[in-house]
Structure 1
């Protein structure tokens, strides 16, 4: 079954006892905006997980702007809101699946197999007249037992080696101007990892903000060979996740996330930097 589900599918299952809906809304530069939006209104029964407080660890010299959370700590937080390995998790946001995809990736990395991303944001849900609530649900705590899949992840040294390996494709998920080094709006150094191809994560979306069909996604990634290892990065390991999700939906067998991404790469002064087209 597809990871991407529509709002009608969510509506039909939202009250089933093994389902937990997770609100992942977030706004870069406004760290409290997601929580505030959740408290104003959300899908009934949904719990809230924050990108920076729950789905990332503290920033340090290396590791990027949104380092992966400690799996033990995240497992405890998941258990606290009633999520265990048997729970069907439905994630949503209001940013094209950007932050919901981060939760999908993290749960997949920790061995959870039934995670879905709602293919329309909260605003579409609300505007369609679907039910909303301000009530914060009372959840029965559970135990989430992580079974980490390290093969889904690469580190800095893996990327350094991949640059020399023609059988590995490196994809940069940032918008073109940042990839080219023309307009770096977030990190202190512009450019990209040498050899990387640019696949802006919003390329997975239609003009109306919904995800493209599988045929449209296949067209978008037609220049990415399926028989190669694929390493995906972005600025901080978040917007790479929609690309990872899309490639996984298309059946690419070996897709890995460079979680530290560009903000980790440039924290090492000896790392090479490229600008312009590849």
Structure 2
């Protein structure tokens, strides 16, 4: 693994994002696992169907609802955090060794789902992870190999070491959101933040005091990460704590990735997000 670590850190300008060219070069490295996280909120079975039809050679599939979330309850939001023992077992089954394996994650939704697993791995204490710049479409545009073969299970060993300080709940948001050293960030599109449109949750609007940094601003229309992410966060770079939320704690992770790219290490996730918050208002 020593060679793998030195390779990614020396050949990638940012260790949290890798290019299709980089991935193609390392496609058959023994200490690399690729995960396909394609998903559609409107058609929850679509991502798996897409994966079964065509995916990056050697990639395994993890499902947002089945693998990366827990069942929905009255409170807690539309995508509660998963059972981490169960997820660790799944990660072990696809060959990931905690603290060793390099994990590259992709989707076709401008990192909207890939960043969820990227963040979950951070929460579980796994450092060696990155998202694929440009996603599956960017990979195909380079005419790199795809396959419909499902890779065999591998023998991994993932032992989660939860970084519980990276998550806040509703009560913590209420207690901390108005403190001068804390910034509360709403990652949804501007019209949802302003309450002009709400396609999913029963109540429109945002948490009082939140500022709006839409997650879609992290990438361009083709799903490539925009350079100089630190430019986005100049107003919050000195905050002691940046709490990020979205509709259900999924696309907020794209902003948490952006904060990492900007060198800001104070980002935390309100996992229940607006869907949890407004469940107490209905």
Q: Distance in 1 between matches of 2:225 and 2:53?
A: 26
Please name the residue that 2:24 is paired with: 11
TM-score normalised by the chain length of structure 2: 0.92
Partner of 2:236: 224
Q: Is the 8 A contact 1:226 1:253 kept in 2?
A: no
Aligned to 2:173: 159
2:71 counterpart of 1:37: no
* Map of 1:76 onto structure 2: 89
Q: Given the alignment, which residue of 155, 175, 191 partners 1:177?
A: 191
Aligned to 2:204: 190
CA deviation after TM superposition for structure 1 residue 160, in Å = 0.3
1-side partners of 2:180 and 2:239: how far apart?
12
Deviates more, 1:31-40 or 1:125-134: 125-134
Q: Which runs of 5+ in 2 are unaligned?
A: 1-8
Once the two structures are TM-superposed, the CA of residue 205 in structure 1 deviates from its matched residue by 1.2
Instruction: Give the aligned partner of residue 52 of structure 1.
Output: 65
Does structure 1 residue 134 correspond to structure 2 residue 148? yes
Contact 1:230 1:256 in 2 (8 A): yes
- TM-score of the aligned structures, taking structure 1 as reference length: 0.94
Displacement, 1:251?
Answer: 1.4
How far apart are 1:218 and its partner, in Å?
Answer: 1.9
Q: Give the distance between the partners of 1:83 and 1:41, measured in 2 at CA.
A: 22
Match of 1:54, SS?
coil
Say if 1:207 and 1:222 are closer, same or farther in 2 by CA, change over 3 A: farther
What RMSD in Å do the two structures reach over aligned CA positions? 1.2
Alignment partner for residue 113 of structure 2, among 80, 99, 115?
99
**Is the 2:80–2:271 contact (alpha carbons within 8 Å) kept by the matching residues of 1?**
yes
Q: Tell me the distance in 2 between the aligned counterparts of 1:266 and 1:141.
A: 42
Q: 1:209 and 1:62 mapped to 2: Cα distance? A: 32
Partner of 1:28: 41
Match of 1:247 in 2: 259
